[in-house]
Structure 1
Amino acid sequence: MRCAAGLVLVLALVAAATASGADGPALVAKIRVPATSQPCAAAAAGRFVWVSTFASSSLLRIDPRRNVVVGRTPIGSGACGLGAGAGSLWIEDTSSATVSRVSIRSAKRVAAIDVGSLPYDATFGFGAAWATVHGDGSLVRIDPRRNRVVKRFPLPQAIGVVAAFGSVWATGSNGVVRVDPATNAIVAHIPLENAGWTAAGADAVWITTQTGVSRIDPTTNTITATIAIPGPLGDPAVVGGAVWVPRVAANRMAIVDPATNAVTRTVKAGAGPFVVTEVAGEAWVPSWHGADVRRFRP
């Protein structure tokens, strides 16, 4: 869901009550959201952090200086994965078979783009929005000038997508594909059973599976490490140089040190953490089965 070469956002962050250190990540804030809304994923854009809600067909706007929800934008149904670019938020609406485009300036939905059955993830990178479409088995590229799909790549049971290392990486039942956005060509295929959600760090792409997370070297397009983590696993992110992997049923996050390719600690999260997003050096984790969004400082 995240673009490693994405927007630069400067946020005025509130001071943490407890500084992080030897005791590990500090919980900075628990931001209340409407009950039963199923907050899913976050993205930073403009002065706000935006959170999709799977059950209430809306995009929440959070002021990170006050840790409160300050606005709500109606979008499609089953919203989760999102990215920011071209002055907009791009949110996949799983149940509506669309990607919603929301203006960062006006906070209004300006387009609903048909992408096919069951979009699962979305991001923005290299001048385009990208979405995986699980039901149709494809990765799609959306032109922000025309608000429509301009290229479709076959990808059976497509799940996750991330933009990094000059490429777009997407997962499906047959593994990971790497797309060159300059040529619209698939330039690599990395076999990986049960490839799931995606993240990117300084020198690796990280892919979840049913039993852990795999590390891909973008210089060789090979898997160089596999770290066992009990599932089910959600959508990870690289925060503070470490990989934060949601353990959805356990209400915890496993933190992987890329230097050792090992889980170094686990962190208690809210109910059903599904997606982690890096925002200004912090981890933002909506509680998909709860009614809050949690901020952690590494």
Structure 2
Amino acid sequence: MKKVSAILLLFIALFLSCSKPDETLMDDPSIQTELRKIPIEYAALAAIHLPGFPDFLIADGAGVWVTNIGRLEKLVLGSDTPVATVTMPSPCGAGVSAFGSLWVASCSNKSLYRIDKTTFAITSIINTGLADPSGELSVAAGAGSVWLLTKSSGILTRIDPSTNSVVSEIAVEPKSYAAAFGFGAVWISNTGDGFSDVGSVQRIDPATNQVVATIPVGKTPHFIAAGEGGVWVINQGDGTVTRIDPATNAVVANIHIRAFGSGGDITTGAGRVWVRASNAFLFEIDPVTNTVANTYIPPQGSGAVRVADGDIVWASSHDANTVWAFKK
């Protein structure tokens, strides 16, 4: 019996030593990404199937609008089908909800559409041009204006919603496609289309319509978000997310999530930063630690992400023809 007990104790000791997490690995954000994987089907409150090509999202109250082929569709929890549909030509890019309207680009006619959120009627079509006619762009709203990058040579256009007219065109770095508003400024990413090892983010002061900072980041920065204490940009050329401190315009973190390639999206909300990528379905970044808190799987191709109603995360996949929603 003593011999058996000794063998048993040895086995238990070996088991416990093997089961203990490696603290070095746990401190590595890239390893955390591998360790904390959550199946999206397990987390989701809803998985809404949409025929067509459901892609970019606009947060609007308790739900989201999703761009699709020739239309926008509004989704809310509790309905497996869209609760509203707006027909428009080739909606593309990440639009915005502001000034009682949806503001959405049309790739086919290179214009910005204004849609009344109450009547769902198109109230204005503003012929702006688009810096990226393929639609990998985003619209921003703030400081009483709507902002859109309209020329690949480097033009940020400011639109007055009281007149639906262009009131300013601001020279910025070329190959800039995505805009965000936050911390009293407009922030845009300068991709360089991958021809430079380092891209940049520019800060524009809406009081003067002037670029006040150009901040080097990673390679091919594209989609950008402002919130949760920082400005965040996906660097598609090196697979990182860069965090900028808006108080100093300095880079304070580079988070390695391997988000290589085109497409994807980024947003903030519910105390987190959310990155939609192709190598995983969704990354959840903790802005307190600048590390990946959770990774949602499996990969679902490309798509978008937004947070609505405070803590409901919506994420799309045009390859899976599905939009998921889950509560943070």
SS at match of 1:105: coil
- Structure 1 position 134, deviation (Å): 5.4
Given that 1:201 and 1:241 are in contact with CA atoms closer than 8 Å, whether structure 2 keeps it comes out as: no
Structure 1 unaligned runs (5+)? 1-21
- Structure 1 position 144, deviation (Å): 0.9
Percent of aligned positions that are identical: 30
Q: Which residue of 2 aligns with 1:60?
A: 73
Q: Which residue of 1 aligns with 2:6?
A: none
Q: Which residue of 2 aligns with 1:101?
A: 114
Q: Deviation above 4 Å: which 4+ runs of structure 1? A: 22-25
* Residue 182 (structure 1) aligned to one of 207, 213, 225: 207
Given that 1:29 and 1:295 are in contact with CA atoms closer than 8 Å, whether structure 2 keeps it comes out as: yes
Q: Which residue of 2 aligns with 1:214?
A: 242
Q: Which residue of 2 aligns with 1:159?
A: 177
Alpha carbons of 1:269 and 1:23: their partners in 2 closer, same or farther (altered >3 Å)?
Answer: closer
Alpha carbons of 1:240 and 1:282: their partners in 2 closer, same or farther (altered >3 Å)?
Answer: same
Q: Which residue of 1 aligns with 2:152?
A: 135
Task: State the distance in 2 between where 1:290 and 1:74 align.
Answer: 22
Does structure 1 residue 50 correspond to structure 2 residue 65?
Answer: yes
Q: Which residue of 1 aligns with 2:128?
A: 115
Task: State the distance in 1 between where 2:228 and 2:94 align.
Answer: 22
- Structure 1 position 270, deviation (Å): 6.9
- Structure 1 position 148, deviation (Å): 2.1
Given that 1:133 and 1:157 are in contact with CA atoms closer than 8 Å, whether structure 2 keeps it comes out as: no
Letter in 2 for 1:157: K
Q: 1:75-90 alignment to 2 at 5 Å?
A: 75-90=88-103
Task: State the distance in 1 between where 2:317 and 2:126 align.
Answer: 27
Q: Which residue of 2 aligns with 1:14?
A: none
Task: State the distance in 2 between where 1:59 and 1:139 align.
Answer: 25
Given that 2:59 and 2:65 are in contact with CA atoms closer than 8 Å, whether structure 1 keeps it comes out as: yes
Does structure 1 residue 226 correspond to structure 2 residue 254?
Answer: yes
- Structure 1 position 24, deviation (Å): 9.2
SS at match of 2:265: coil
TM-score, normalised relative to structure 2: 0.76
Q: Which residue of 2 aligns with 1:149?
A: 166
Given that 1:57 and 1:79 are in contact with CA atoms closer than 8 Å, whether structure 2 keeps it comes out as: no
Structure 2 unaligned runs (5+)? 1-36, 193-198
Q: Which residue of 2 aligns with 1:201?
A: 227
Task: State the distance in 2 between where 1:268 and 1:151 align.
Answer: 43
Q: Which structure's CA Rg is the greater one?
A: 2
Task: State the distance in 2 between where 1:270 and 1:99 align.
Answer: 32
- Structure 1 position 46, deviation (Å): 5.4
Letter in 2 for 1:213: V
Task: State the distance in 1 between where 2:38 and 2:303 align.
Answer: 24
Letter in 1 for 2:118: R
Given that 1:114 and 1:148 are in contact with CA atoms closer than 8 Å, whether structure 2 keeps it comes out as: no
Given that 1:273 and 1:285 are in contact with CA atoms closer than 8 Å, whether structure 2 keeps it comes out as: no
- Structure 1 position 276, deviation (Å): 0.9
Letter in 2 for 1:165: F
Superposed CA deviations along residues 129-170 of structure 1, whole A, max 9, x for unmatched, are 111235353221111122122212223111211110011111
Q: Which residue of 2 aligns with 1:271?
A: 300
- Structure 1 position 23, deviation (Å): 6.8
- Structure 1 position 80, deviation (Å): 2.5
Q: Which residue of 1 aligns with 2:32?
A: none
Task: State the distance in 1 between where 2:305 and 2:59 align.
Answer: 12
- Structure 1 position 290, deviation (Å): 2.4
Task: State the distance in 1 between where 2:229 and 2:63 align.
Answer: 28
Given that 1:167 and 1:178 are in contact with CA atoms closer than 8 Å, whether structure 2 keeps it comes out as: yes
- Structure 1 position 44, deviation (Å): 3.0
